Structure 1
């Protein structure tokens, strides 16, 4: 036993010695060792150069700062502990208790709301109780029309009518009972509530809407030239026939068009005036940098107010289901936020091959009094709708990714057209169905020639061999849709093919190795001249030269 005690004593004494040694060493490093540091500093300082003297002073300051920082941290920690214990209670535990109590309060409020709903259902009879919001959770008296509505208001009179505005459904589900069931009244003096107030107003607007007499005899070339003259004569906006040709052909190739170019070339004015030409003014949505998801453009359901926070984008999307003419929705400065974030669902919907699947879920279930064109909480994206985005490329914007570019049709506006005088041009009322018919007719009358397809195949092989770059199926489909309409609008087949190749294929060079692309561009330009002719494909060649000069 004495041997064990001797062993334990030596081990513990060594542990204590090591701890004391470490503490002494620590104190010597930051406290008592300063005399030795100063002696060393004083010995070397006179012999050092100017740079050495500056560095030596900085080193001494750094060594002094370390213990000072440690002391300040310890003091701050002590002060915080003192403040937390000042009232002789554990405040951290108190905060946790407050959070738990808040959760219990919310649960009790929900339970009281459910009980109130059950009472309302049990009342029966002809008395209808309007939704009271937060007051229904705090008052013990069940509200009635009499004690929540001013007798002098028209809403009280509306409650007694067969098409009453703001009634509570007689459902057995307690969670649905206190929700507003609004019915639009024909009396303009009545004030009513609705889950989708903006969409309900659209239903009202088109209840007795008089559609114009549509022109179903116009050709695509006449349609394009008519718009050009309309924009010049009535809106003092001037565009070249080539830009309008690309815009209309782009509508045939994709439901999403992206207008790019320098500021002041009329990117926003183009779709705005185009919609005025068809007498269906476009809805312009100013994209904000904070846009992150679909709720920014579609809105969201507010569980507290039991109403959907609608946006102008949603209203225009819904109204398009009533319109027979094309509807344009403009996303102004669309790349101020990431397009693939807030517009992702729309991109996916528009990719569906079956147009019956072009639907958006807004709310989980349908309620009585929902908008007429809404089915099961879903709205349909009309095939008569086109989305037009404007984009600037500067430090304040995001790069448009290939995912978006592949699905869209980019149109560049980099030059102003010269002003010209012309006679006053009237509007053109045309249905979206007839416009689609003209697109299909153009594909029948102006199919891409076998000669052009053969040249395109050769160029595809060249790009695959030299650049590992190929045409995707989506780009080929857009080419088959774009080029015939471009020709029907007054353009040439190679001109349409040139534009698609430049904007949809060669643009991918911007994401490739810069040095490699620059060295190979000259050979590609020579190959294009040899395959298509030196006088053709100027758009593609100028784009390649611009890339070459840029890098």
Structure 2
């Protein structure tokens, strides 16, 4: 057991040492390739610049500027390439997501189309059954006596008759007079009280359409107004 403990401790030390050396070498490499190289460049320049002439100093300064600009351009180019690669990877991932969404939408659309077709089939079947039922009811009801005999007789009596009705001048009313008379009549005779606005809307509806739909809560006088 003692030997195992010694071996395990030694192994653990070696692992920690290797991890430490890895990070140490990594940061040392970064330092050497950046600050260390710059220091060596500067030391080399100091050694050779001691014997520079004026022209050589000018050429040295121009060379340093050109090298700095070139290094900056290379650095910017590398950054741009990395950024383009990142955007490319992101775009590809977005494309995959969009393709997945499109496929899901297509699947949902196919399901909706199938449901629509099924509903159309059911609707056609319902129409066919309703038509058949209506036909049977009409055939049965053709032998039943009309319940509204008096109204039917009035319709038959005036069906082809042209009525020549001439109004006298005293019977002609303006819209304002008609509204006033209707309001007075409904209030005095029917005990129903309508505003002039409601009566105007009612007359306007009768003038524009043969069908009117009166809506409202119970007890407001819809039936009496009709």
Task: Report if TM-score (shorter chain) is over 0.5.
Answer: no
Q: TM-score, normalised by structure 2?
A: 0.31
Q: TM-score, normalised by structure 1?
A: 0.15
Higher helix share: 2
Larger radius of gyration: 2
Higher RCO, 1 vs 2 (CA within 8 Å, ≥6 residues apart) = 1
